[in-house]
Amino acid sequence: MKILIVSDTHSKVKRVSEIYKKLLAKQYPVDIIVHCGDYYADAMKIHDRLGVRVLAVRGNCDKCFEEDEYAILETEAGNFFVCHGHMYHVKRNKQSLYYKALEMDCVGAIFGHTHRAEKTELDDFIFINPGSVNKPRDGSGGSFALLTTSEGHAEAKILRYEDFMASDDSPLLPPKKKSKVTGGFLRRIFNYSDGQ
């Protein structure tokens, strides 16, 4: 499954359309676009303009009700918890988001709100924040994320809008197999400790 992830578009969807069209031109057809909120109406515009399936949640700038503050993205690699992030205080840390995603039996969390792109892996769990394609707060000219999933495997990449649009090469996600983690935190402690 190929997933384009965007967030915090704030009434400007032109760049999302440009990214989607360039992905198609690069032979990377997107199965679904995930929009992590701010603004929910933008997700509906994206769907109407591109005709692609869009999974969207509401953000702090939308009227956010408990029943639509998160969604579950089902993939071959497992489920991903999708939210804007403000209800889980992601500007401070991701602990509440992590526990909520685990409670919902998810292998990862996709969120926005900070306007800063991030991909963090924690054992077999992955956090993906695409940043903002229009109003970044990380010094970039905007960013988005691509997530490619297959049976038991997920690979995410953060891409800068300007670099992606200027490039003719294909810096997309190549199909590659990732070995499964067979141990966890304690195994790493023992492997890297001074003990015998």
pLDDT 10s digits, 172-188: 554 444 434 434 443 44
Q: What is the C-alpha separation between 115 and 105, in angstroms, rounded?
A: 26
Strand 32-35: give its sheet, edge to edge: 54-56, 32-35, 2-6, 143-150, 153-160
Q: CA nearest 84: which of 69, 72, 99, 96? A: 69
Class of domain 2-192: alpha beta
Residue 179: per-residue pLDDT: 37
pLDDT tens-digit readout, 74-118 = 999 999 999 999 989 999 999 999 999 999 999 999 999 999 999
Q: What is the C-alpha separation between 159 and 8, in angstroms, rounded?
A: 15
